[in-house]
Amino acid sequence: MWAVLLVLATLVIGGAVDARRRHPDLKPWHELIPDDVDAGELGDDFTFEQWLRREDAVFAQVDRLEYDLVKADQTPVNRYFASSLTHYSRLGRNWNRTFELEPADLRGAAVLVHGLTDSPYSMRAVAELLREQGFYTLALRMPGHGTVPAGLIDADWADWLAAVRMGMRHARQRAGPNSPLLLVGYSNGGALAVKYATEALDRPQDPRPSRLLLLSPMIGVTPAARLAWWISRLGVVPYFEKARWLDVLPEYNPIKYNSFPANAAFQTASLTRALLRDLTRLDEDGRIAALPPMLTFQSAVDATVSTPAVVHALYDRLPSNGSELVLFDLNHRAGINAFVRADDLTLVERLFDGTSRNYRRTLLTNRSTDSTDIVARTIEHGERSFADRDLHLSWPPGVFSLTHIAIPFPVDDPLYGTDPVEDGSGLFRLGRLNPRGERAVLIAGADTFIRLTSNPFFPYLAERVRAWAGEEK
């Protein structure tokens, strides 16, 4: 026992020392922890109006941050400098905040939950699709998000889930008792959406969603976050203040943190473990059939979440209830397959091997190895054979796969799009970055810029979401 404790102490202290050596000096946005709402306040009687008032107060704290910026921080790509090219104001409004969209003719409601370190901006395009279908859409800002990275130092996944409950209560009131109620989750928001649905089976006071829409859902993550959390506990010691951080980076993205607290990773790992326990329990109790139908869009290769967990831990457990899994395959014309991990290649092969499953499977893949044109290869639930449909879409030059972050963004997205609409705002277009040159020159790692930030197949996603929402009566 003493030997184990000694090894653990060595790892923790060594990790803290390494963080102090490796990370640059912390900035004001790494030190200010806003007084955000938490699960203790978000009881069943907490209203949406109270939520908005608390959010006003939180952003008032953050707005004062600019007065603490020294000259060196007043750069063209610092999101906290009001004159920078990456300040939220260049997007026309503060999309870091909770927002609502009202339809012309109300027939239902949808609550949309963004991902970790993200903000409601990531749900903008999907929210607009649902509004067009007659849904009041509420895109919630999760506590600790949209403000400063230090907001995630103390945030807890119970805070996020309590916020989802509040949003679902409000959406149910807006839509009425008998209208469709959709729950949409992106990345970590996908885990929260499924967790909410599992808990709602045992909480009669919570409105049940009629359907779930999941985008790159975080059903499984690496367990390495546990050690990072222990290392971060030393962050209360001033000498080891950097131990709270896995990454300390310049904040050049106006609607997403680049720096990453260890606590954020620990919370997602804890959330997914709790979710997997729920799914296992419901499966063993024979109650998993009570979960609502799900439509999921997931990249076959994903460096953030586990695609096999989406397939096996979630979908392979579902009953035949109209659920569908859409996978975005690799670009087999890119000539990159020899450099791809074997497990990533065989996952798709196993999923489309002619085995019958309880859900609809669709693979967006090359028409042939000689073509960059895309087909939707679909196997209906309970069937073994597939049918192809030409989508009149193709892989862009130089792109070998989709990414975890790209799925909810169209190519004309003003920030992340590869072909953004020019509006004269002067906004720095992150989606157009495609640097090639010397290493160790950029202020952010080259792997950040190589990642595709928008979805060339978003028209297909939009078509499927419209049809899926249109089926709700």
Output the DSSP codes for 302-321.
-SSS-HHIIIIIIGGG--SS
- Count Cβ atoms below 10 Å from residue 238 Cβ, excluding itself: 6
Question: 299 forms bridges with which residues in the sheet?
Answer: 328
Q: Residue 23 is encoded by which pair of tokens? A: 């990370």
Q: What angle do CA 330, 336, 342 make, to 5 degrees?
A: 70
Specify whether the CB–CB gap between 206 and 200 falls below 8 A: yes
Q: Supply the DSSP symbol for 379.
A: E
Q: Whole-angstrom Cα distance, residue 313 to residue 336?
A: 29
Say what the pLDDT of residue 235 is: 60
| φ, ψ of residue 162 in degrees (nearest 5) | -65, -35
Q: Where are the beta strands (DSSP E) in 39-193?
A: 99-101, 108-113, 135-140, 181-186
Say what the pLDDT of residue 236 is: 65
Say what the pLDDT of residue 175 is: 93
Say what the pLDDT of residue 354 is: 81
Q: Sign (positive/negative) of CA torsion 241, 227, 34, 38?
A: negative
Q: Digits of tens for pLDDT over the chain (473 positions)?
A: 878 777 666 666 666 666 666 778 899 999 989 999 999 999 999 999 999 999 999 999 998 887 678 888 899 999 999 999 999 999 999 999 999 999 999 999 999 999 999 999 999 999 999 999 999 999 999 999 999 999 999 999 999 999 999 999 999 999 999 999 999 999 999 999 999 999 999 999 999 999 999 999 999 876 655 556 666 666 666 656 777 888 899 999 999 999 999 999 999 999 999 999 999 999 999 999 999 999 999 999 998 999 999 999 999 999 999 999 999 999 999 888 888 888 888 888 888 888 899 999 999 999 998 999 999 999 999 899 999 999 999 999 989 999 999 999 999 999 999 999 888 888 999 888 877 777 777 767 666 778 899 999 999 999 999 999 987 66
Cα 48 to chain centroid distance, Å, stands at 23
| φ, ψ of residue 74 in degrees (nearest 5) | -90, 70
Alpha-carbon torsion angle 352, 358, 359, 361, nearest 10: 10
Say what the pLDDT of residue 300 is: 94
Q: Whole-angstrom Cα distance, residue 431 to residue 421?
A: 12
Sheet order of strands, 211-215 included: 99-101, 135-140, 108-113, 181-186, 211-215, 294-299, 324-328, 360-366, 373-379, 387-394
SS3 324: strand
- For residue 74, CA distances in Å to 109, 151, 260, 320, 333 come to 41, 21, 21, 56, 44
Q: Whole-angstrom Cα distance, residue 64 to residue 153?
A: 20
Specify whether the CB–CB gap between 455 and 416 falls below 8 A: no
Architecture of the CATH domain 2-470: 3-Layer(aba) Sandwich (3.40)
Say what the pLDDT of residue 261 is: 93
- Sequence ranges of the domains in the chain: 2-470
Say what the pLDDT of residue 131 is: 97
- In 3D space, the residue among 128, 125, 151, 133 whose CA is nearest the CA of residue 59 turns out to be 151
Say what the pLDDT of residue 433 is: 83
